[in-house]
Amino acid sequence: MKLDFTGKTALVTGGTTGIGFSTAKMLLEFGAKVVVAGRSEDKGKKALQALNSFEGNIVFVQADVSKVSDCKKIVDETVSRFGRLDSLINSAGVFIPGLIEEVTEEQYDWMMDINTKGTFFSCKYAVPEIRKAGGGAIVNISSDAGVLGNTNSTVYCASKGAITIFTKALAMDVAKDQIRVNCVCPGDVKTPMLEADMAGRPDADQYLKDMISAYPGGKIAEPEEVAAIICFLASETAPFVIGSAWSVDGGLTACSY
């Protein structure tokens, strides 16, 4: 079954790298017009270069979703450029490990503002536009850390757990408008976020081996494997999927050990 986004417009936050970039690319391949939002202009330019075969159907908007005004800006610019908004993919996210006694207020604010506040207010401004389009979909990116507690990750778990429950609450409010809200809960994925985490470890190779050993399938995910589920949830192929939290984690959260 091939998904079809012809005539549809999607907005992807955190769309310049990792899961967001793979999702944007896949949506373009399925016929969508896509706006990718990200904090780094340099990463935005590189993303556009990598997707230059879709020129005319993709736009980069520099924005920091921790700022409410930027959450509004990315929605407004999407509608201004392409005339409508059908799908919002909230992929912007950050991670800093640390035990609770090590977490600073600045680190707490940074993770909560981008991961949770950014998702909340991007949805706030997207909902009226998706409603005008006759309905559509919102897919939020939570985490396995938004389902079960992870060690050394109190703030990250708090931010992602909030997204999981927020997704379900928002889904109930907007289902009557034919807007489906769901979230995906990935395990570890080969992204720049993981690379940055590994760079701060004293023995990165062993850290990766230990991480992989926790997965029943013996591997961690590629960004495209998560993007495929995001695109499915954003598509008209999933009309009865509402308020769900899809685990895309290689069986990690199915384990009891």
Q: Is residue 212 part of a domain?
A: no
Q: Is 156 a catalytic residue?
A: yes
The per-residue DSSP string of 103-149 comes to: --HHHHHHHIIIIIIHHHHHHHHHHHHHHHTT-EEEEEE--GGGTS-
Report if pTM > 0.95: no
Q: Is residue 46 part of a domain?
A: yes
Q: Which of 133-142, 145-154, 162-171, 224-233 has the lowest mean pLDDT?
A: 145-154
The CATH number for 124's domain is 3.40.50.720
Q: Is residue 197 part of a domain?
A: no
Report the DSSP beta bridge partners of residue 110: none
Contact 250, 185 (CB under 8 A): no
Q: Is residue 71 part of a domain?
A: yes
Q: Is residue 74 part of a domain?
A: yes
Q: How far apart are CA 9 and CA 28, in angstroms?
A: 10
- In this predicted structure, the answer to whether residue 257 has a pLDDT above a threshold of 70 is no
Which domain does 71 fall in, by range? 9-189+223-250
Give the pLDDT mean for 61-65. Answer: 98
Q: Is residue 65 part of a domain?
A: yes
Q: How far apart are CA 138 and CA 251, in angstroms?
A: 24
| Mean pLDDT score across all residues of the chain | 94
- Give the model's confidence band at 235: pLDDT under 50 very low, under 70 low, under 90 confident, else very high: very high
Give the pLDDT mean for 139-164. Answer: 96
What lies within 8 Å, CB to CB, of 78 at 6+ separation is 9, 11, 35, 59, 61, 85, 129
Q: Is residue 196 part of a domain?
A: no
Q: How far apart are CA 201 and CA 208, in angstroms?
A: 10
Annotated active-site residue in 156, 207, 215, 257 = 156
Q: Is residue 88 part of a domain?
A: yes
Distance of CA 139 to the CA centre of its chain: 7
What lies within 8 Å, CB to CB, of 165 at 6+ separation is none
- List pLDDT tens digits, range 172-206: 999 999 999 999 999 888 777 777 776 777 787 78
Count structural domains, the chain.
Answer: 1
Whole-Å CA distances, 63 to 14, 43, 103, 135, 225: 9, 12, 26, 25, 26
Give the pLDDT mean for 114-136. Answer: 98
- In this predicted structure, the answer to whether residue 9 has a pLDDT above a threshold of 80 is yes
